[in-house]
Amino acid sequence: MHTHTKTIAFINGKGGTGKSTTCVLVAAALDTVGRAVQVLDLDTTQRTATSWLDSSGLGHMVASGHFSTGEVRLIDTPPRLDSTLFQKAAAMASIIILVTSPSPADLVTTQQTILALDLIAESTGAHPTVRLLYNNVQQGTSLSQDLPIRAREIGAEPLVQFIRRRQAYQHSIIMGWKKLPAVAREEVLAVALEIATLPEKTLARRKP
């Protein structure tokens, strides 16, 4: 039984890393295993998460702005470190998922995002659990090597599970969760369960 509500924000200072995609996929996966999920779409310019949920029959998960009930709250965020909505999401979250590809350029932006999160944590006094989620992984490529090591090099703890690059995820915005191939649904579910069972930190985060 779950009585506690977790607030999980999908974050990166750069656009196109897969924040919205992974946020809605994780939402759909948790829904299939019976968890109550709400998605707060704070990317009010793009509204990718809202339109995906609406068009795939999951519009009931879209939160209007404040949460009442619901065991898991997922927040999609704008790709701007200086946006007040980004800062609001970071301050609300007990768990922050840094969504990034394994590309060195994206890891640099991710490191800048971590520094911005540290500043927010200093001013709010809240110290959320932060994990890095690799998205768009192409296995067998050189960039897919040593993913855990490269996460720690930028001061981030990686999730064990990751999400591969699949065209099916691009189609899913029209086709919905149920039309995804089983392997895709399984990898998203593995990520979703890892995220949903992360511990929430209450003490100050130790510097690496």
Ligand X SMILES: Nc1ncnc2c1ncn2[C@@H]1O[C@H](COP(=O)(O)OP(=O)(O)O)[C@@H](O)[C@H]1O
Which residues contact ligand X by CB under 6 A? 15-21, 48, 79, 135-136, 163, 165-166, 169-170
The dihedral region occupied by 102, where left means phi > 0, alpha psi between -120 and 50, and beta the remainder, is: alpha
CA distance 167 to 117: 31
Mark 118-143 as b/e (b = at least 16 C-beta within 10 Å). Answer: eebbeeeebbbbbbbbbbbbeeeeeb
Question: In 140-181, where does DSSP find H-type helix?
Answer: 147-153, 167-175
Shortest approach of ligand X to residue 207 CB, angstroms? 27
The dihedral region occupied by 176, where left means phi > 0, alpha psi between -120 and 50, and beta the remainder, is: left
* 48 contacts Mg ion (rule: CB under 5 A): yes
Shortest approach of Mg ion to residue 67 CB, angstroms? 20
Shortest approach of ligand X to residue 24 CB, angstroms? 8
CB 54 within 8 A of CB 62: yes
Give the nearer residue to ligand X in terms of CB position, either 127 or 191.
191
Give the nearer residue to Mg ion in terms of CB position, either 43 or 106.
43
Shortest approach of ligand X to residue 122 CB, angstroms? 25
**Segment contacting Mg ion by CB under 5 A, of 46-54, 81-89, 101-109, 170-178:** 46-54
What track of x and - describes contact with Mg ion for positions 10 through 39 (by CB under 5 A)?
A: ---------xx-------------------
CB 207 within 8 A of CB 118: no
Give the nearer residue to ligand X in terms of CB position, either 102 or 127.
102
Select the binding partner of residue 176 from ligand X, Mg ion, none (C-beta < 5 to 8 A, by kind): none
